[in-house]
Structure 1
Amino acid sequence: MNPSAKPLAQQAYELRQAIREQTHTGPTSGLATGTMQGNIVILPADWANEFLLYCQKNPVSCPLIGVSEIGDYRLPDLGKDIDMRHDVPEYYVYRDGIKVESRADIADLWRDDLVVFVLGCSFSFENALSQAGLTPRNITEDVNVSMYESSIPTTPAGRFFGNTVVTMRPYTPKDAIRAIQITTRFPKAHGAPLHFGTPEDIGIQDLSQPDFGDPVSVKDGEVPVFWACGVTPQVAVRNAKPPFCITHAPGKMLVTDLLDTDLAVL
């Protein structure tokens, strides 16, 4: 059976199983297309309310699509048999705001006081862009999306603060306008771009040197288009310095059973 002919929820479930078994360890862009992907932040309960407020104050960078109960690694509202200890291709572990390791599984780190936050991801609108003939460059070049820490500040909340991380996809000016129209329909996947054109205007000096992910080619006649990114909380975690935190590795997301269109404004 052609995998693309399988129901989307089944594709997402099978991808999560491959991630759990560590047969898929790479980026998730372009996989299980049509399902919503999520950025992950896992914090102790005594930090959770401040981070929730940070998300509420920064809904473009941090669009919440799911929050767990304290100590619960399951997220049944987001997908069949999701287990947050295993179902992300790569996790980053932070202690006192410093990334100390990356790993494929966090079962031995799980604690009864942890809360999982799942934030919408721009990978979720890439399917709509592709269907409109605007396939993102990171997909056509089979690399992770380019991500940069910009100079655009977020709104602080408690101990969390920092600049916005953005993803970049290049388009011709005409296609950029169409991409803006399409992505505006996906507020839970960061919505419309924050900026397009001169990268220096938002503090990015060299497109060939992303802070996260991989560089992509920008062809003659194209302009870089920048969307808010769910890696933004990793900058805020670095600044807030919680004693313990786990996130996804940039570009390696939780793939949910939700459809992109479930949270789209049509």
Structure 2
Amino acid sequence: MTLLSVNVNKIAVLRNSRGGHEPDVVRAATTCLDAGAAGITVHPRPDARHITADDVYALSALTRARGVEFNLEGNPFAPPRSGYPGFLALCEAVRPAQATLVPDSDAQVTSDHGFDFSTDLGELRELVAALKAIGCRVSLFVDADAAAAALPAERGVEQAAAVGADRVELYTGPYAEAFASGRADEATASARTTAMRAQAVGLGVNAGHDLSQANLATFLRGVPDVLEVSIGHALIGEALYDGLASTVARYLRVIESARS
């Protein structure tokens, strides 16, 4: 069964655009959980453009009290700065169920690529070990396009297992773009190949980025045994029209329909 983790970053973007406390990130996350979401995802960035360290602490308390998963995403190599203690320090403070490592830079508007496994992986291996030592399941953000699916094992998704990760998260931005232009078949095949290579070396497979009600079922039917989808931008946008609880419920129906 594929689980839905709702990314509430965009709630924080709206709040921060005005200042103050509204809309309330914890209240929005609670609504998502009440509607049936299996967990909450956030990606705090060093510039605090949306989710802040205080949000991380508050959402950790919520998810722990509700007995659901908290997925904390971030670049483990970004240095600490005022208001941002660093990704590892945040994980040590709240011990999320899952830590998803993403190689994004401060300048990126959003995550747009996975890890390059052709470089020295020693530092990444150490960070994965440190996160697992505090009880986090570790997932690495990986490319799933045709180029990534064709890489040899020594530079491909298999290296996520070699550095000790438990899962990978397939970057589905290219798939969503291909779907929108009527070219979903090739992109789905590439993602399926990447997923199956990961699973063959014992990695669990998650997916996320630009997934929506329109393209999610096609993706899940084409890519086997996806454990979790993390969805934020599209879901929050759709919720502006249809309501947050109703939109979460619709995503759960899409996931169920893909399974059946």
Task: Give the TM-score normalised by the residue count of structure 2.
Answer: 0.28
TM-score, structure 1 length as denominator? 0.27
More strand by share: 1
